[in-house]
Amino acid sequence: MAVRHHLIDRPPAAVWSVLEDPALYGEWVVGTSDSRPEEGDWPGTGSSIAYHVHVGPKRFTGRTVVRHIDRPRTLELEAEGGPWGTARIAFDIRPWGERTLVIVDEHPLRGLGGTLHNPLLDTFLQLRHRTMLPRLARLVERVTAAEPDGGARAGAPAG
């Protein structure tokens, strides 16, 4: 299991405004791009987004489904990676003074990733999270800096 945390210099509502915007998914998730809603109303339970995954010169289509959401605390996703299988990615969003502590927990569920799950794979996921969480923080800070109220709206949905 790969668990990592990052402190974001914005309140939880600002973090949620980015997590709730399917068009921004490809900007903070490592290896993805061109994200778009697929089914349902993201991030409602059962909703999904599609995106492209780049592996060297190859481009694949990926899909992520919301398995559980409990605003303002939890978002649990299942990322489908074709032959690699699926992975559970859980976000724990905690107020930390005026900031937000984001804890991500990711592990393979099914397919090749689940079968071959080992400490080396967890190390790879940790390295991925070391890039992903600072990307999320920079995006939250950039998006909220552009908002008239600085992203301070409590529980405001993405627009």
User: Among candidates 1, 2, 151, 12, which has minimal Cα distance to 92?
Assistant: 12
Q: How many domains does the chain have?
A: 1
For 84-130, how does the pLDDT look when each residue is reduced to its tens digit (9 = 90+)? 789 999 999 999 999 999 999 988 888 877 777 767 777 777 777 78
Both structure tokens of 31? 């290896």
Query: Residue range 19-40: average pLDDT?
Result: 89
Check if the beta carbon of residue 136 is closer than 8 Å to that of residue 21.
no
Query: Omega into 43 within 30° of 0, i.e. cis?
Result: yes
User: Is position 39 within any domain?
Assistant: no
How much is the pLDDT for 112? Answer: 72
Structural domain of residue 121, as residue ranges?
Answer: 2-19+64-146
How much is the pLDDT for 148? Answer: 67
69 has a pLDDT exceeding 60: yes
Strand segments, DSSP code E, in the chain are 2-8, 32-39, 48-55, 58-70, 74-80, 86-96, 99-110
User: Is position 48 within any domain?
Assistant: no
Query: Residue range 46-60: average pLDDT?
Result: 87
Query: Residue range 130-139: average pLDDT?
Result: 93
Query: Residue range 13-22: average pLDDT?
Result: 95
Look at 151 and 101; give whichever has higher pLDDT. Answer: 101
Q: What is the CATH number of the domain that holds 125?
A: 3.30.530.20
User: Is position 12 within any domain?
Assistant: yes
158 has a pLDDT exceeding 70: no
User: Is position 54 within any domain?
Assistant: no
